């Protein structure tokens, strides 16, 4: 009987602790401005408690990149196998630009996705978004060319956009040699890479080509002139990408304030968005960049550009590249793949 009583007490206490723990974790989901996915809530609490700060202690850009790469690797799952992956370079405006070409097992003449990684124009690499590019290639049955464009502050604006546009020119010229279709070249990027993808689409229009089949923008930064939107006010602190980070990234990428309103820096400020390629804009519900991304999608629609916009509920900035934490990462890539397959009918 004594053993039974002790066991009963143990079970009661253990059950209480489990329920209390579940209640505590669930309580982290609820914020003043929306409900976080539970994994996002746990990640943000970890960042808060560990006082993680990329720009703390006067880190150099090189040190920031190491910290970012180390932390980011924890958030990624098992890489998707791809039929063929090749690292190479192409001649850019200031020297050779490294690229990584992902070729799925498919027939010739497939779409070619030019991918620009995120990272505030300061961090990120071919490796940081490798999982994402692998999934894109296999799910969309497209060739993916990931571009290792020059980073700030060593190479401030317009270095990144020059490399990005040069990647479009090279891809158009060489698509056939990699079994791609030069008539179906897409630009795609996340965050700062979404900014570059939108800017390349504008630049291609303004320079009369090459034609772009579609632009796909994942939580893009499209207005660096001002950080005063609704989502900046709601999610500017404590939601992974902060307003402070955006200000730091901007200061490194755009040391000249006169450049902040350039349309290839802030596509949302372009006078006209007509004659741009069909677009898909993905945003995260609890993201400092949500308002401007959705405003850009609306402007594209109003300019007559076939545009699809989807907001992913409970998500924070960067979720598409956190496939270990979020099943929504796979859903987003499925949505992108569906969009690409449906393009001829748009």
Q: Please identify which of the residues 317, 323, 329, 335 carries the catalytic annotation.
A: 317
Counting other chains too, the contacts that 323-328 makes at CB distance below 8 Å and 24 or more residues apart are 323/75, 323/76, 323/77, 323/131, 323/132, 323/135, 324/74, 324/75, 324/76, 324/77, 325/39, 325/40, 325/43, 325/75, 326/37, 326/39, 326/40, 328/37
Q: How open is the CA angle 306-175-140, to the nearest 5 degrees?
A: 50
Could you tell me the sign of the dihedral formed by the alpha carbons of 29, 34, 39, 44, in that order?
A: negative
Structure tokens at 105: 């097992």
What is the Cα–Cα distance from 31 to 23, expressed in whole angstroms? 15
In the beta sheet, which residues pair with residue 310? 282
What is the Cα–Cα distance from 310 to 331, expressed in whole angstroms? 11
Torsion from C-alpha of 337, 296, 112, 115, nearest 10 degrees: -100
Q: Which residue has the tokens 């158009």?
A: 172
In the beta sheet, which residues pair with residue 185? 112
191 is an active site residue: yes
User: Can you list the positions of beta strands (E) in the chain?
Assistant: 30-31, 34-35, 84-92, 95-103, 110-116, 143-147, 180-190, 214-218, 279-286, 307-316
Q: Please identify which of the residues 287, 323, 329, 335 carries the catalytic annotation.
A: 287
342: Cβ contacts below 8 Å, ≥ 6 apart = none
323 is an active site residue: no
DSSP state of 80: P
Compute the residue count for the chain: 346
129 is an active site residue: no
Q: Please identify which of the residues 125, 128, 146, 191 carries the catalytic annotation.
A: 191
* Active site (catalytic) residues: 191, 287, 317
């Amino acid at each position: 009987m004594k053993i039974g009583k002790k066991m009963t007490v143990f079970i009661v206490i253990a059950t209480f602790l489990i329920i209390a723990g579940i209640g505590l974790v669930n309580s982290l989901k609820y914020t003043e401005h929306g409900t976080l996915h539970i994994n996002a809530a746990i990640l943000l609490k970890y960042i808060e408690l560990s006082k993680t700060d990329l720009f703390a202690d006067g880190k150099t850009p090189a040190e920031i990149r190491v910290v970012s790469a180390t932390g980011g690797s924890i958030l990624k799952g098992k890489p998707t196998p791809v039929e063929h992956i090749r690292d190479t370079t192409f001649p850019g405006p200031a020297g050779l630009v490294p690229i990584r070409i992902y070729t799925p097992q498919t027939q010739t003449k497939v779409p070619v996705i030019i991918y620009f990684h995120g990272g505030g124009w300061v961090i990120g690499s071919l490796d940081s978004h490798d999982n994402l590019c692998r999934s894109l290639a296999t799910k969309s049955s497209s060739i993916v060319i990931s571009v290792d464009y020059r980073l700030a502050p060593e190479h401030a604006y317009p270095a990144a956009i020059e490399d990005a546009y040069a990647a479009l020119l090279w891809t158009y010229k060489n698509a056939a040699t990699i079994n791609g279709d030069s008539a179906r070249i897409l630009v795609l990027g996340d965050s700062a890479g979404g900014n570059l993808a939108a800017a390349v689409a504008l630049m291609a229009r303004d320079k009369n080509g090459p034609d772009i089949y579609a632009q796909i923008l994942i939580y893009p930064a499209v207005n660096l002139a001002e950080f005063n939107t609704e989502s900046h006010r709601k999610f500017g602190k404590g939601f992974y990408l902060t307003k402070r980070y955006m200000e730091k990234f901007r200061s490194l990428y755009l040391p000249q304030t006169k450049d902040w309103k350039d349309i290839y820096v802030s596509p949302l400020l372009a006078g006209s968005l007509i004659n741009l390629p069909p677009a898909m804009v993905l945003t995260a519900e609890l993201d400092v960049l949500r308002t401007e991304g959705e405003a850009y999608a609306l402007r594209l629609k109003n300019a007559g550009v076939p545009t699809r916009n989807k907001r992913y509920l409970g998500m924070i900035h960067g979720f598409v590249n956190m496939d270990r934490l979020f099943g929504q990462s796979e859903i987003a890539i499925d949505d992108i793949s569906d969009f690409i397959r449906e393009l001829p009918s748009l």
